[in-house]
Amino acid sequence: MMEWSDEVYSVGLPEIDEQHKTLFNLVNTIHAAIYEHKGTAACIGVLEELADYTRVHFALEEKLMQQGHYPAFEQHRELHHALVNEVVALLEQIHAGQAKISFQLLHFLRGWLKNHILVEDKKYGEFFATYGTGENYEDWARNSYEAIEKRGKKKKWWKFW
């Protein structure tokens, strides 16, 4: 369904690119679950994991933008909040039996992810390539890997900052 290509999707920051690859894999997992008729429960589980991972990824991305003084930070954060709100509302509808996980949902997620990376994330990639990521990039990179690993465990990922 979604195939990663460094030439197309890389923003020039290895940690972010790895996170984007994981998002691609999660969308592909939802696709496989729908295609193989694994049932709503399996699809909900993967969608919830995608939502959780997306929240962590967005927080890490936003922290980097703040540290690197990215001028469009507020607008980018608003896009993140809008998607999280949409996914949370959708999960609530699915749990209430008012919506189903479908190829239409998958198309939305795929389109949003591709467009967001190719348009919005590429902008900060270009900004950081020109102006640098700030003096704390190495700390951010280390903390980002730890935050991803700790996701869903007792120590919450947001406690790193």
pLDDT higher than 60, residue 159:
no
Amino acid identity of 43?
C
* 119 burial level (CB within 10 Å; 0-12, 13-18, 19+): exposed
Q: Domains along the chain?
A: 13-152 (1.20.120.50)
For the stretch 57-88, pLDDT in tens is 999 999 999 999 999 999 999 999 999 888 88
| 120 phi, psi to nearest 5 deg | -75, -50
In the numeric block, which tokens belong to residue 97?
A: 């039996």
154: DSSP letter: S
Confidence of residue 153 (pLDDT cuts 50, 70, 90): low
43 versus 75: the higher-pLDDT residue is 75
For the stretch 82-131, pLDDT in tens is 998 888 888 888 888 888 888 888 899 999 999 999 999 999 999 999 99
pTM of the model: 0.89
Question: What's CA 70's distance to the chain center, in Å?
Answer: 18
| % pLDDT > 70, the chain | 94
39 versus 154: the higher-pLDDT residue is 39
